[in-house]
Chain A
Amino acid sequence: MLVTTDLGRRIGEGWIWRGVDVQLMAGQNLAIVGPTGAGKSLLLRCLAGLDPADEGRIAIDDKPLDQWQMPAYRARVVYLHQRPALWEGSVEDNLRAVFRLAAHRSKGYDRSVTIRRLAAFDRDATFLEKYAADLSGGEAQIVALTRALSVEPSVLLLDEPSASMDATATEQAEELVARWVAESPGRASMWTSHDAAQVERVADRTLTLDGSRATIS
């Protein structure tokens, strides 16, 4: 589904990573691991088209990134920031606002689906009325994940999606994403995580970024 060939990115003179070949197939969950500063987030940002790569190619469904209209591409390949960024307003405002974007206007906000997704985190409809600025880091990540799932992407790029969540919420988030990928064909996820146990739990395969080398296992 999402394929990169010989992808490389440098900062100044040095390469952060080079020769990255990722083949993310439908139904797969791939984890990117590596020490801090190895460029895990940067790789996800490049795959989302938020940062440029310096060499190599990215393609989804055999169509290269540069032939896509970026908004249409990003509607399919959604990147979730490590620091969840919510817009001003309530939780429900956030979940509703995404459907005002031209890329998703045809879909429309479905409150019952939202409530079902939030139920996976033991949150009920009253959670929707909370003000985004009052949420804890973990709660904000729950909203950001729910918001990303609501636009029905094909690929979820999850950058430390549970870094601020407690153990229960982390488990619930992992379960939700796993269920989401399995639920329908043509879906896949990519994770970064500092937690080796989490990688073990969520990933079918791992991509290790270490210095400038990239290895898949």
Chain B
Amino acid sequence: MNGYLQIGYAQTAVAGLLIVANLGLSAALRLDLGRRLVIAALRMSVQLLLVGLVLEWVFSLENPLPVLAMAAAMTAIAGVAAVNRTQRRFAGVYWSSLVSVTGAAFFVTGLALVGIVRVDPWFDPQYLIPLLGMVLGNTLNGISLSLDRFVESLVQRRDAVEATLALGGTRWEAAHDQIRDAMRVGLIPTINSMMVIGIVSLPGMMTGQILAGAAPTDAVRYQIVIMFMIASAAALGAFGIVFFTYRRLFDDHHRLRLDRVHKVAA
């Protein structure tokens, strides 16, 4: 079992015809989805074709610098995207997100590359880039959900939080319920996907490896490693963002500083 059937550009274009069926349906039912569907399909194709070219170029280099530059760019985009999905912001929120996502993703991916998969050289882009990408996508989700829930619940439950402070509670005692809740929400997608993986869903990476000719038992072990990485990075990232937000929205005088929060149209 090795090797796989290659798909050429012509065959790819044929697959694009599948979208035409959707367009016909949209037109027939007057759903007005046609334009957005075409834009989305075009964006998807262009983005992936480009990233394919970039990856092929990066893979051909034997220098860690461009690989790390690409990793850094992916991480920065993830850090910004995590904040952009939330509605309430505070000064420094982007830095908090960047530090959280970088710390979590680099630590976990690095550990896996060197200690578990034992890639040689350690920066081999064939491993580094896809592993980091999967970790980033899930860390982004965790950070985004935890950040959103934490700030939102501080705003919603402001009176109860301040009641704790007013009765002599420390900022930690006042924020504890909200911190726990934010962490729980940030980890929901990860825990849910671990619960049903292999039963309801067959993860993309595993099916990809199987399509590429890997033995299913090998692919499954890879997937287990990946899931542990994802769970760990999402938790670290969520903890990071909640910690930074906590430090920012509760000052050293144990005051809740919601005056530092502003709402944006997301």
| Partner-B contacts on A (CB < 8 A) | 48-52, 70-72, 74-75, 78-81, 83, 85-87, 98, 101-104, 144, 147-148, 151
* Closest B residue to A73 using CB positions: B168
Contact A74 B165 (CB under 8 A): yes
> A residues within 8 A CB of B254?
49, 70-71, 74
> A residues within 8 A CB of B124?
none
A37: min CB distance to chain B, Å: 18
Contact A49 B253 (CB under 8 A): yes
> B residues within 8 A CB of A75?
167-168
Do most interface residues of chain A lie in helix, strand or loop, or is the interface mixed?
Answer: mixed
| Partner-A contacts on B (CB < 8 A) | 159-160, 162-170, 173, 253-256
| Subset of 8 A-B contacts with CB under 8 Å | A50-B162, A51-B255, A70-B253, A70-B255, A71-B168, A74-B167, A79-B166, A98-B167
Contact A86 B160 (CB under 8 A): yes
Given A71-B168, A74-B168: A85 touches B173 (CB 8 Å cut-off): no
Contact B163 A87 (CB under 8 A): yes
Q: Which of B160, B169, B256 has most chain A Cβ within 10 Å?
A: B169
Tell me, in angstroms, the Cα distance from A103 to B166 when the chains sit together.
11
Interchain CB contact (< 8 A) of A78 among B160, B167, B253: B167
Q: Which of A74, A79, A144 has most chain B Cβ within 10 Å?
A: A74
- Nearest 3 A/B pairs, CB to CB: A75-B168, A85-B159, A103-B168
Given A50-B165, A50-B166: A102 touches B173 (CB 8 Å cut-off): yes
Known contacts A70-B165, A71-B254, A87-B164; 5 additional CB pairs below 8 A are A49-B253, A50-B255, A52-B253, A81-B159, A102-B170
